[in-house]
Amino acid sequence: MTPSTPAGEQQPVANHFLKPDSFYNRIQSLDVLRGIAVLGALIVSVWVFGGFSDQQQNSLLLQSKGWKYRLFGTIELLFNGKMRALIALVFGAAMILFLAKKNEAGMPTATDVFVKRQLWLIILGLVNAVLLLWTHDILFHLGVMGILLFPFVRLSHRGLLIAATLTTLIYCGKNYWNYADDKKMYRKYLTVTALEKKFVKDSIDKVQKGITAKKDTLTKLQKQDTSAWTGRLAAMKVDLKKDDANINAMRKVDYGKIWNHLLPTIQSREAQWTYRIGIWDLASMIFLGMLLFKIGFFSHHFSRNRYLLLGMAFLTAGLLLGWYRLHYQQITLHDYVKYINRHVLPHTFFFPIERAAMAMGYASFVMLFLSIGFFNRLWSAFASVGKLALTNYFMQTVICTIFFYGYGMGYFGRLSQWQLYVFVAEVIMVQVIFSVIWVRHFNYGPVEWLLRRLSYGKSLTDKFRKELITEPAIHA
């Protein structure tokens, strides 16, 4: 179903980025967005790779001044969580595109290949996390979500909108749930402190009356309530010395010791984060990507004016929500007790909506610029990166771990914030050049070809083997 263009709105200009590529069976605008998301994600991922820790970030928020604070705040608003959301958005659209393939005689069905592909994607994610030691790998989670959500590709537009809205609201609810646990913990602490004051008052009264009695004491459970809250506050206190142990561990030259140090974090990310947050984090954007694909968003069935209005509206909303989050995060860091006493919602409550709005805004403006036809060489470069998204993703892991970890060059925790971004710019430049050159000679990146080979297994015929080499007519 193709939405009609309202009267008076400008008709889109034909552009090869907006048309399906019959050879690849893909929409080129999705490759552009995928390339932007993969490269943009490194801007935040380098914080973890390079040792720009939460303690350092919170320290800048507490200062609330200076160019370092403004630089961090800008990157936080524009990129943190937004690139992951954009990756999931494109992933949802690509799911429908993949599953819409026609079944060929003698070949497995698209559904069978898709499920097998997702299983191999899970394995690749585990390789990236457990062997290459990238603690924030997303391939594992995308593989899991692809298997969980592919039955929903048949939902109607309304059904997908409801699913995206519901999962986003559940994600908001999960953030509130954690905050509610803190408020409950704080109430228990107040009860215990009030009881302690009563014990002291009673003891004084008894002494004044000359009564000798056994001193009242807290129960074991009450002491646990007290220590739980004081421990929560201690964990939130900004102290740069907390990073020392992690920095020393990451600078060890022994791969095995770094592996032992990172394994608990990897296990927590692949397990706890997935079922507590990841399902809702990714599902909300995957559903939204499916919906946008079905209404023709990525195929330029909207006018330029509509893309412009959507981009402006969503980016404005996302930036306002991001400002709200960072502002109240600063208050939280300064005095969490005051924050809990005065605020019903946590500062992270609207983050799921913020990231969705920002991802939608980015996608809308990219589609607008593609339709106008400006900077086509730039979009071609991003499309090349997007076609090699898996290869570039693994390349980022290899480059960053070798550069930062102790068994490589050992720069973990040695670069300042702005130096990390310079490093990112250099990696992006290398990946763009590599991708542009590669797609001139090959249709698939090395990892993409491997995943395709594993997905089709023995059914991979000579026809598909020949597709690895680029035909000149395609890139003329």
Residues 142-173 pLDDT 10s: 999 999 999 999 999 999 999 999 999 999 99
pLDDT at position 109 is 87
Rounded Cα distance, 267 and 62, in Å: 31
Angle in degrees, 0-180, between the axes of helices 82-99 and 139-149, rounded to the nearest 10: 40
CB-based contact 394:447 (threshold 8 Å): yes
pLDDT at position 214 is 57
CB-based contact 34:379 (threshold 8 Å): no
Q: In terms of pLDDT, which residue wins out, 4 or 246?
A: 246
Burial code (b: 16+ CB inside 10 Å, e: under 16) for 189-215 equals beebeeeeeeeeeeeeeeeeeeeeeee
pLDDT at position 20 is 47
| Least trusted range by pLDDT, from 32-41, 93-102, 170-179, 410-419 | 93-102
The closest alpha carbon to 322, from 74, 36, 39, 16, belongs to 74
pLDDT at position 170 is 97
Q: If residue 27 lies in a helix (H) or strand (E), which one and from where to where? A: strand 26-27
pLDDT, tens digit (0-9, with 9 covering 90-100), for 435-444: 999 999 998 8
Amino acid at 218: L
Rounded Cα distance, 343 and 377, in Å: 49
Place 456 in a pLDDT band, splitting at 50, 70 and 90: confident
Is this structure's pTM higher than 0.85? yes
Amino acid at 375: F
Place 465 in a pLDDT band, splitting at 50, 70 and 90: low
Return the structure tokens found at 1. 């179903």
Share of the chain above pLDDT 70, in %: 86
Rounded Cα distance, 399 and 46, in Å: 11
DSSP letters along 231-248, please? HHHHHHS--GGGGHHHHH
C-alpha triplet 322, 371, 374: angle, nearest 5°:
85
Rounded Cα distance, 363 and 454, in Å: 31
What's CA 137's distance to the chain center, in Å?
Answer: 9
Return the structure tokens found at 392. 């570039």
First CA to last CA distance, the chain = 32
The closest alpha carbon to 307, from 373, 386, 360, belongs to 360
Rounded Cα distance, 189 and 183, in Å: 10
Rounded Cα distance, 452 and 160, in Å: 28
Rounded Cα distance, 371 and 473, in Å: 24
CB count in 10 Å sphere of residue 371: 22
Angle in degrees, 0-180, between the axes of helices 139-149 and 110-126, rounded to the nearest 10: 150
CB-based contact 51:243 (threshold 8 Å): yes
Q: If residue 340 lies in a helix (H) or strand (E), which one and from where to where? A: helix 336-342
Rounded Cα distance, 317 and 334, in Å: 26
DSSP for residue 18: G
Return the structure tokens found at 21. 């590529």
Mean pLDDT of 126-150: 97
Share of the chain above pLDDT 90, in %: 74
Q: How many residues does the chain have?
A: 476
Considering Cα of 78, then 79, then 82, then 88, what sign does the dihedral take? Answer: positive
Which residues does residue 442 pair with via DSSP β-bridges, in sequence order? 469
Amino acid at 20: P
pLDDT, tens digit (0-9, with 9 covering 90-100), for 48-97: 999 999 999 999 999 989 999 999 999 999 999 999 999 999 999 999 99
CB-based contact 183:340 (threshold 8 Å): yes
pLDDT, tens digit (0-9, with 9 covering 90-100), for 228-276: 999 999 989 999 999 999 999 999 999 999 999 999 999 999 998 998 9
Place 22 in a pLDDT band, splitting at 50, 70 and 90: very low
pLDDT, tens digit (0-9, with 9 covering 90-100), for 370-399: 999 878 899 999 999 999 999 999 999 999
Query: Which are the contacts of 213, defined by CB distance < 8 A and separation ≥ 6?
Result: 206
pLDDT at 285 over 80: yes
Place 100 in a pLDDT band, splitting at 50, 70 and 90: confident
